């Protein structure tokens, strides 16, 4: 990784954001140990927490993989009892 790098790539490896990636800013040259992400699932916006799993360099860029932390996240699966008409 370049000494002047200011960003890294977040890879979500499981949970509701599995397969998604985004860029984040390094803070004092370090990546976040946990990240919060927001997404709409079934039309409801939820907050999801992810914890660092590992990191690696790919073509000179830092990639950090994060794993879903379900206990610290909002629920994201719809409850059939909450659906209209039930």
pLDDT in tens, 21-37: 999 999 999 999 999 99
Residue 81 belongs to some domain of the structure: no
Residue 32 belongs to some domain of the structure: yes
| Closest-CA residue to 34 (of 46, 19, 24) | 24
Starting at the edge strand found earlier in the chain, the sheet holding 44-58 runs: 21-25, 7-12, 61-68, 44-58, 34-41
Residue 84 belongs to some domain of the structure: no
User: pTM of this prediction?
Assistant: 0.80
Beta carbons within 8 Å of 22's beta carbon, 6+ residues apart: 9, 10
Residue 42 belongs to some domain of the structure: yes
| Closest-CA residue to 64 (of 41, 5, 4, 39) | 5
pLDDT in tens, 76-86: 765 555 554 54
Residue 53 belongs to some domain of the structure: yes
């Amino acid at each position: 990784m370049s000494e002047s790098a200011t960003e890294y790539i977040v890879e979500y490896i499981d949970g509701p954001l599995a397969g998604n990636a985004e860029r984040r800013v390094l803070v004092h040259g370090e990546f976040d140990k946990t990240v919060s992400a927001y997404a709409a699932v079934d039309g409801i916006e939820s907050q999801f927490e992810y914890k660092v799993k590992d990191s690696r360099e790919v073509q000179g860029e830092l990639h950090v993989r994060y794993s879903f932390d379900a206990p610290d996240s909002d629920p994201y699966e719809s409850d059939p009892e909450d659906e209209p008409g039930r």
